[in-house]
Amino acid sequence: MFRHFTIVLLFTAIVAGPALAASDRVALVLGLSDYRTITPLDNPRKDATGMARVLDRIGFDVTLALDPTGDDMRQLLDDFAFRSETADLALIYYAGHGVEVQGENFMIPVDADVKSNRDVQRQSVSLKQMLTAVERARKMRIVILDSCRDNPLGDLLDTVDTGASSSAPGDSRGGGGLAVANPDRGTLVAYAARDGQVALDGTGENSPYATALMEKMAQPGVEISLMFRQVRDMVLRETGNRQEPHTYGSLTGVPFYLAGAAEGQQDVADASTLDAWSSIRPDQEEQLLALAELGDTRSMLGLAYMRLNPNQGRFDPVEAVSFLERAAAAGSPEAQFELAKLYERGTGVPVNEARALELYRAAANQDFADAINDLGFLTYQGGLGLDPNPQEALRLFERAADLRHPQAQFNFAALIDDGHIESKGPKDSAHYLYEALRSGSPDVLNILSDRPTMFTRQTRRALQTTLRDNGFYAGGIDGEFGPGTRKAIRLAFGLEE
């Protein structure tokens, strides 16, 4: 058996030592009002300033930028992308002009001089660029666009064969709106007004959406998916149903409170998924039940996790299976993965290895890294009726590693280091070790800090080079993990000395 299987068994016994963690929640807040060549906006600067204040108060490490130019925005996003890699949650809030061009959404900087759709594409920052800036956060990624208050370009914009709006400048009731967002799994994009609608600037100190968002996100103990639902309801009420906020994408099945737990409620930050969902207040469970009836798969997942906790009065594996079956049938890969484990163990259902394998494969086909990693072990060992196939298992481990699964990244690095992957060498092994650190595995941090000699000197030297190239290390490339290398490893992980 390969060395990495033994390492995996050791993971549960390793306890991380004391350390000062870098911020686990980071936010980039952009407010653009003072446009130089197109219609200025009254509220975005005020909205952004208020949003930054609220986010700071509830524990975010906030970068606030008011009226940034295009170059400023691109640099801010590059810097934020690097910081996001070691954060649990990365959030971008943008208030300003936004337009759709050929099905893609663009946020316009204050110095943009746009007269055609090509100008928009060249001078603006796209939603895709914002999503790239948050995509490597460890647990949750959120982009909030409080934009498209009106069409700032009007007849000046060449809209032939584009999706850009063509209403007159300053007409906040005209056509326009942003295109539908389709972010990756684990990422939520929130619009102040659903695709195709125009968001209102409002008559008060802040826009209706910013007002609702600042009020609801600051309330402790409100699960994040329910928080956005409450924001939607508040904006609809305040605008007489003229503006309907909308969210796109899907968060992971891990519950999260932006403002932390309420008084007397368990803090879910370090709790297991089962315990975290079980701490949801009864009134919010009722909301989850209502959303599940409407087909919301994340609500189904949360309700299933509650009923899989044997330490809580809600324990009901049969009902958990019912929720997971519905979510899995609706295409949720996390529900497919969790349901596969129940069929494999016989929890709430009779053991059914064929059904378990079918569900693992369905989740893996949607690039769900946990399912791919588990399929790797099953394929290597010959589980669930599979014939052992080490070469296919290696392919699956590599695929899971490339999807940033921390355990798979470490295991694949070990396989390379052991010489089991002919096409890869020490540089590749070091790459996956570095990525495992950036993904936030405390087990990898401790092994590299305390037992680095389990890797060859060539791999250790390559890792030092990788740490140096990324600005964490300035010492010799000798394969000796002394104080300087160990400090660099901690910094790469996201710990501050």
Q: Is residue 383 part of a domain?
A: no
Q: What CATH number is attached to the domain comprising 325?
A: 1.25.40.10
- Six-digit token string for 381: 């060992």
User: pLDDT band at 174, cuts 50/70/90?
Assistant: very low
In a domain, 123, yes or no: yes
Sheet holding 125-126, edge to edge: 98-101, 104-107, 125-126
Residues 74, 193 share a domain: yes
Helices marked H in 281-405: 282-293, 297-307, 317-329, 333-345, 353-364, 369-381, 390-402
Residues 290 and 211 both lie in one domain: no
* 260 in a structural domain: no
**How far apart, in Å, are the Cα atoms of 121 and each of 44, 80, 474?**
22, 22, 40
Judged against a pLDDT cut of 60, whether residue 301 lies above it is answered with: yes
pLDDT tens by residue, 345-373 = 999 999 999 999 999 999 999 999 999 99
Nearest to 179 by CA among 98, 96, 94, 103: 103
Nearest residue to 445 (alpha-carbon basis) of 399, 491, 403, 404: 491
**470 pLDDT above the threshold of 80:** yes
Which tokens is 260 given? 């932390």
Compute the Cα dihedral for 423, 425, 428, 432 and give only its sign: positive
What CATH number did the domain enclosing 225 receive?
Answer: 3.40.50.1460
* pLDDT score for 153: 63
Decide if pLDDT at 160 tops 50: no
Q: How confident is the model at residue 154 (pLDDT cuts 50, 70, 90)?
A: low
- d(C-alpha 116, C-alpha 191), whole Å: 24
pLDDT, average across residues 187-194: 91
Domain-ending residue, one of 367, 394, 427: 367
**Domain of 332, in residue numbers:** 273-367
Q: Which of 322, 346, 367 is the last residue of a domain?
A: 367
Looking at the predicted structure, is the pLDDT value of residue 205 above 70? yes
Same domain, 218 and 294: no
Flag whether pLDDT at 3 surpasses 80. Answer: no
Does 385 reside within a domain? no
What is the spatial distance between Cα 260 and Cα 124, in angstroms, rounded to a whole number? 35
Amino acid at 452: P
pLDDT of residue 166: 30
* One domain for residues 331 and 446: no
Residues 60 and 206 in one domain: yes
Indicate the pairing of strand 187-191 with strand 246-250: antiparallel
Structure tokens at 66: 């008011």
Report the relative pairing of strands 125-126 and 495-496 from DSSP bridges.
unpaired
Residue 371 or residue 203, greater confidence: 371
Q: What is the pLDDT of residue 20?
A: 39
* Domain match, 359 and 245 both: no
Highest averaged pLDDT of the listed ranges 42-51, 151-160, 196-205, 275-284: 42-51
Q: Is residue 419 part of a domain?
A: yes
Statement: residue 397 has pLDDT above 70: yes
CA 487 to chain centre: 27
In this structure, is residue 395 part of a structural domain? no
Number of Cβ atoms within 10 Å of the Cβ of 112 = 24
- 55 and 100 share a domain? yes
Judge whether 291 lies within some domain.
Answer: yes
Instruction: Indicate if 100 and 31 belong to the same structural domain.
Output: yes
Greater model confidence, 331 or 268: 331
pLDDT of residue 81 exceeding 70, the answer is yes
Q: Kindly state whether residue 267 falls inside one of the protein's structural domains.
A: no
Same domain for 101 and 217, yes or no, is yes
Confidence at residue 169, expressed as pLDDT on a 0 to 100 scale: 32
Tell me which of 6 and 483 has the higher pLDDT: 483
Same domain, 306 and 411: no
Q: Does one domain contain both 205 and 68?
A: yes
Flag whether pLDDT at 156 surpasses 60.
no
Whole-number pLDDT of residue 374: 97
* Residue after which a domain boundary falls, among 351, 367, 383: 367
| Residues 353 and 421 reside in one and the same domain | no
Residue 251 — pLDDT band, cuts 50, 70, 90? Answer: confident
**Count of the separate structural domains present in the chain:** 3
414 band by pLDDT with thresholds 50, 70 and 90: very high
More confident residue, 203 or 43: 43
pLDDT at 14: 31
